[in-house]
DNA sequence: CTGAAAGCGCTAACAA
DNA sequence: TTGTTAGCGCTTTCAG
């Protein structure tokens, strides 16, 4: 293994000079810099991560905590995680992957050992058990998702309340008066997951303001669950012409069942989805949708965190504005006889 | 920050004693052990990861490399990654997440810096550019997936050849004589992706042995592509009664189109899928399928790697036996008039 | 602009 | 069964 000392010797300079060439923390004459860089290349030197961490009390590692809930839509999580990893690298950080298994202990372990300099938490619940720990520790952190109380925390999320409002507005403009919301599995609401409740709040508030009737039904994924849910919806509200879906695994079943019942989309019924772009464009009907900007969320989370690590940085809630893309699944409400 | 020295002082023992209590590398009298453990708890001591890594040249971190190919099915990747992370923790390791961005350089960086003790590579291509590097380095590693040349490498994968054979056997037992295989997109075969070719090989070999007729057609995802493919299949082999699908995004279109053509599943036509459990159970017909055992693959990969790190361990190709689950999409071949 | 040297906190011989 | 001690490789004052 090549050490910094060996590089120094090879280049005929002191160890500290090599160190400073690497960190750029003080000015170096062009000639020595070149000699050092050449030695580094020639010897194939790689600074030792452990030694660096020990001497500088900085690991250059960001912990990313992904609680594994089976009822969450995985691809979005993955997309965010990948964006976080890529973003972190551009700032010189690596990502340590923590799954939910350990729960809050993982926070203690990582902060206590100096394994990571900071952490990003995904899939935050409204009253998340990891939050008290975060507030206590001095560990810089960013949440992806919004808890109930954001005091003293930095959060990045899609503005789901605005998302809900946007969906309702779109349908209202098209003349729909009775709207059904096909939501996430009931467990998601029972857990008081932030995004689900906030979307619902946005939907309800705007519907009330616009004088629309809104029916919300949680729904598991798959055909059977969707079939039952759909039956109930039309049973309770036969005049329903607008649907808002926020559940990736219910999208295709919904479309298939509507088709099967002879309800044409968008002629008889309009559908607006809150889902990843890919799901919206690859569905059997191209869906009017509000996309979850996974990449953007990952990128922004890293930026916030790096800002904190660099001393500029503030506790701030970053809500990304939703964008609704009109595709083939929404159209004017049918004229009622 | 609490250090080992402080714990030692508090407990009235030497630093090495505390170290040995922690590592268990030499026997300690029960009384001192208890005193030390108490001090650790009281002071809230956490060993410093950097110092440990430096002194022991062991980071207790495993790098997990996930190249992000857009045509791979993401949920399975994620499931494996999570299983890897969980498995690693049970052996005292953390996971460093590397995405494809950096390419082979990431391998160099991680091995060179001692950031990780070993690595797991996912989504391996038949002729992967990272393999030469791995063979050179002394870094222990395990591949998830099978490259063309496994010489000197440890690999974990589903036995796709056996998977193909299993699907054919199931349909043969039910009396089907004409089988159509709906495969991945043509590009996947052109790239000579290992799993696709191996599955096909298994299908063909067993079909020949059992005297069945087998027709293989690659197929893009989506309804249009599936519609064209299906038309060709029944055109060339009107007596086809058994289908094997290995393409998540073709599953639902296939079922929908068969239904549309008035071919009942499983009364007229049987379908066997090679896909994740979730896709099989949430499809419009619950699918008889061979699942990709993501959890098991992650777990096994970690086990192989830890074995190597502990000095017991061998270069070995671990092929997991496929399991076929019978559900509602397969049944006896219709009696021909 | 460069060097010398004191640690960072822990592990693992070597001694007892 | 326990203690002493010499590093591990790097960063960062303090001097020049």
Task: Determine how many CB atoms are found less than 10 A away from the CB of residue A177.
Answer: 17
Q: Are residues B280 and B264 in the same domain?
A: yes
Question: How many other β-carbons are positioned within 10 Å of the β-carbon of residue A337?
Answer: 3
Residue with more model confidence, B152 or B193 = B152
Co-location of A286 and A255 in the same domain = yes
pLDDT the model gives residue B72: 59
- Chain B contact for A82, CB < 8 A? yes
Question: Which nucleotide does the CA of B23 lie closest to, via C1'?
Answer: C11
What pLDDT, on a 0 to 100 scale, did the predictor assign at position B241? 97
Facing A97 at nearest CB: one of B97, B222, B253: B97
What are the backbone angles phi and psi of residue A99, rounded to the nearest 5°? -95, 175
Which uninterrupted H or E stretch holds B53? helix B49-56
Q: Which of A96, A99, A108, A102 is closest to A136 using CA atoms?
A: A108
Q: What is the pLDDT of residue A194?
A: 78
Q: What is the 3-state secondary structure (H, E, C) of A152-182?
A: CCCEEEECHHHHHHHHHHHHHHCCCCEEEEE
Q: Do A46 and B97 touch (CB under 8 A)?
A: no
Q: Which nucleotide is nearest to A8 (CA to C1')?
A: C3
- The burial class, CB within 10 Å (0-12 / 13-18 / 19+), for A180 is buried
Per-residue pLDDT tens digits for B282-332: 888 999 999 999 999 999 999 999 999 998 878 889 999 999 999 999 999
Q: Residue B126 pLDDT > 60, yes or no?
A: yes
Q: Is residue B82 part of a domain?
A: yes
Q: Are residues B38 and B91 in the same domain?
A: no
Do the Cβ atoms of B98 and A75 come within 8 Å? no
A24 interface with B at CB cutoff 8 Å: no
Chain A residue with Cα closest to B103: A86
Residue A330 lies in a domain: no
Same domain? B250 vs B172:
yes
Kindly give the residue spans of alpha helices, DSSP state H, lying in B72-193.
74-90, 104-113, 131-136, 160-173, 186-190
B31 part of a folded domain: yes
Structural domain ending residue among the three candidates A292, A309, A330: A292
Residues B89 and B114 in one domain: yes
Residues 6+ apart with CB under 8 A from B75: A74, A75, A78, B276, B278
**Is A223 within 8 Å of B283 when comparing Cβ atoms?**
yes
Whether residue B282 sits in one domain with residue B171? yes
CB of B53 within 8 Å of any CB in chain A? yes
Q: What's A114's domain CATH number? A: 3.40.50.2300
Does the beta-carbon distance from B78 to A74 stay under 8 Å? yes
- pLDDT of B73 > 90? The answer is no
Instruction: Identify all chain B residues contacting A102, using CB atoms and an 8 Å cutoff.
Output: 89
Question: Using CB atoms, which residue from B47, B86, B95 is nearest to A113?
Answer: B47
Question: Could you tell me if B153 and B272 lie in one domain?
Answer: no
Contact A53 B52 (CB under 8 A): no
**Across the beta sheet with B178-182, what order do the strands follow?**
B213-217, B178-182, B242-245, B270-274, B288-290, B324-325
Q: CB–CB of A73/A250 below 8 Å?
A: no
Q: Does A247 touch chain B (CB under 8 A)?
A: no
pLDDT, position A75: 76
Give Cα separations from B303 to A3, B84, B296 (angstroms): 32, 9, 10
Q: How far apart are CA A192 and CA A285, in angstroms?
A: 31
- State whether residue A283 sits within 8 Å of chain B by CB: no
We report the CATH number of the domain holding residue B31 as: 1.10.260.40
Cα B73 from Cα A77, distance rounded (Å): 14
| Residues in chain B within 8 Å Cβ distance of A52 | 50
pLDDT score for A227: 95
Protein CA at A26 to nucleotide C1' at D13, angstroms: 13
Q: What is the pLDDT of residue B17?
A: 98
Instruction: Specify if A132 maps to a domain.
Output: yes
Which residue's structure tokens are 């054979």? B165
Query: A282 to chain B: which residues are within 8 Å by CB?
Result: 221-222, 249
Q: What torsion do the CA atoms of B324, B329, B331, B333 make, to the nearest 10 degrees?
A: -110
Pick from A48, A81, A89: which is nearest to B114 by CB? A48
Does the structure show a pLDDT above 60 at B186?
Answer: yes
The answer to whether residue B117 is domain-embedded is yes
Question: Can you say whether the dihedral through the CA atoms of B17, B20, B22, B28 is positive or negative?
Answer: negative
| HSE value, Cβ hemisphere, 13 Å, CA-based, for B270 | 25
Backbone angles phi, psi at A79, to 5 degrees: -65, -45
First to last CA, chain A: 83
Look up the domain containing A16 and give its range: 4-56
**One domain, residues A237 and A273:** yes
D3 C1' closest Cα residue: B14
A95 and A208 part of one domain: no
On whether residue A329 sits in a domain, the answer given is no
Two tokens, residue A167? 């969906």
Residue A328: half-sphere exposure toward Cβ, Cα within 13 Å: 10
Is the domain of B175 the same as that of B275?
yes
Extended strands (E) in chain A: 61-66, 94-99, 118-121, 141-144, 155-158, 178-182, 213-217, 242-245, 270-274, 288-290, 317-320, 324-325
Residue B328 within any structural domain of the chain: no
How confident is the model at residue B70, as a pLDDT?
A: 55
Nearest nt to the A52 alpha carbon by C1': D10
Q: How does pLDDT run across B128-172, given as a tens digit for each residue?
A: 889 999 988 888 999 999 998 999 999 999 999 999 999 999 999
CB-based contact, A7 to chain B, within 8 Å: no
pLDDT tens string, chain A, 337 residues long: the values are 999 999 999 999 999 999 999 999 999 999 999 999 999 999 999 999 999 999 999 999 999 999 876 556 677 888 899 899 999 999 999 999 998 878 888 999 999 999 999 999 998 888 888 999 898 888 899 999 999 899 999 999 999 999 999 999 999 999 999 999 999 999 888 776 778 889 999 999 999 999 999 999 999 988 889 999 999 999 999 999 999 999 988 998 999 899 989 999 999 999 999 998 878 887 888 999 999 999 999 999 999 999 999 988 788 899 999 999 999 999 999 986 6
pLDDT tens per residue, range A112-122: 999 999 999 99
**Mean pLDDT of the region B173-181:** 98
Number of domains in chain B: 3
Which residues of chain A are within 8 Å of residue B47 when distances are taken between CB atoms?
A: 113
Cα distances (angstroms) measured from residue A285 to each of A75, A266, A289, B158: 20, 9, 12, 34
Tell whether A75 is within 8 A of chain B (Cβ): yes
CB atoms within 10 A of CB A264: 13
The DSSP string of B118-143 is: EEEE-S--TT-TTHHHHHHS---EEE
Nearest-Cα residue of chain B relative to residue A61: B96
Residue B331: closest CA among B294, B297, B286: B286
> Which nucleotide lies nearest residue B114, CA to C1'?
D9
Asked whether residue A77 is assigned to any structural domain, the reply reads yes
User: Of B12, B36, B56, which residue sits at a domain end?
Assistant: B56
B95 touches chain A (CB under 8 A): yes
User: What pLDDT score does A126 carry?
Assistant: 82
Distance from CA of A47 to the nearest CA of B (A): 6
């Amino acid at each position: 293994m090549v050490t910094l000392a060996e590089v120094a010797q090879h280049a005929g300079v002191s160890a500290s000079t090599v160190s400073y060439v690497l960190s750029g923390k003080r000015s170096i004459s062009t000639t020595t810099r070149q000699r050092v860089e050449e030695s580094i290349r020639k010897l194939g030197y790689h600074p030792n991560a452990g030694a660096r961490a020990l001497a500088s009390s900085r690991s250059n590692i960001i912990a990313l905590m992904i609680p594994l809930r089976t009822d969450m839509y995985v691809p979005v999580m993955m997309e965010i995680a990948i964006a976080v990893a890529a973003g972190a690298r551009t700032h010189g950080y690596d990502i340590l992957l923590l799954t939910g298994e350990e729960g809050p202990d993982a926070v203690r372990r990582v902060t206590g050992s100096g394994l990571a300099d900071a952490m990003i938490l995904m899939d935050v619940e409204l009253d998340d058990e990891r939050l008290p720990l975060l507030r206590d520790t001095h560990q810089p952190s960013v949440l992806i998702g919004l808890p109930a109380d954001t005091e003293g925390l930095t959060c990045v999320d899609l503005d789901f309340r605005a998302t809900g409002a946007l969906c309702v507005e779109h349908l209202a403009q098209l003349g729909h008066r009775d709207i059904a919301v096909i939501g996430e599995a009931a467990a998601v609401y029972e857990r008081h997951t932030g995004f689900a409740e906030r979307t619902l709040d946005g939907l309800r508030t705007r519907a009330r303001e616009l004088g629309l009737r809104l029916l919300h039904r949680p729904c598991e994924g798959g055909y059977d669950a969707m079939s039952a849910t759909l039956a109930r919806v039309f049973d309770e509200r036969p005049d329903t012409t607008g649907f808002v879906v926020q559940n990736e695994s219910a999208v295709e079943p919904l479309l298939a069942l509507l088709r099967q019942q002879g309800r044409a989309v968008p002629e008889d019924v309009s559908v607006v989805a809150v889902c990843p772009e890919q799901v919206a464009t690859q569905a059997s009907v191209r869906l009017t949708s509000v996309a979850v900007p996974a990449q953007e969320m990952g990128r922004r989370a890293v930026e916030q965190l790096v800002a904190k690590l660099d001393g500029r940085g503030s506790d701030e809630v970053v809500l990304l504005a939703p964008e609704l893309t009109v595709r083939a699944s929404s159209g004017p409400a049918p004229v009622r006889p």
